[in-house]
Amino acid sequence: MSFELPFRTGPRPQTTGCAPHEQVTQNAPAEVHALFKRRAFELPFVERRASGISVPGAEALVLSHVHACGPREAFLIGREFAHVHPAYDGSSHMMLPLPVVDELTAKGWGELHPMARSGHIPATAVMAFAPRDVKEVEVMVRLLNASWDFARGKLANPAPVHIHD
């Protein structure tokens, strides 16, 4: 799978080290956050709901039942494959195939969820940092599209991912 991102400019934002996993610095300006949310919820077969696993105000991208054909590690909970945090934070959690996770972390666009680092949830769970401008919204939409494709079974991991229950 070839998925190439540009390098994210500037230093990494600060994030919390445990749940709730939130972005503390370099948060999205209100208009950029609103644009990203508009774009995120334009994906076909996606229902907009309150997140079943995140902070109050986080909005989930939930794939319709008939299209949720991806592996278990493509979903945060139920059919929720991603969620967008409230405006005070602006980041997103999403599930991505491992090669895309590697690209995201190597290029500075996000980090593994702390519970993924500790092995409690799949290593496909990441935080994608809040977009700071319109150009970064485009990168975030690409990442979200990869998560959507993963949840629909259109992208796969090169090897099985162990899931702790």
DSSP collapsed to 3 states, 15-29: ECCCCCCCECCCCCC
This prediction has a pTM of 0.94
Dump pLDDT digits (tens) for 102-111: 999 999 999 9
> What's the confidence (pLDDT) of residue 163?
56
Please, what sign has the CA dihedral across residues 53, 57, 59, 65?
positive
25: in domain = no
156: in domain = no
Number of domains into which the chain is organized: 1
13: in domain = no
Dump pLDDT digits (tens) for 116-136: 999 999 999 999 999 999 999
Dump pLDDT digits (tens) for 72-86: 999 999 999 999 999
44: in domain = yes
**Where in the sequence is the domain holding 86, given as residue range(s)?**
30-151
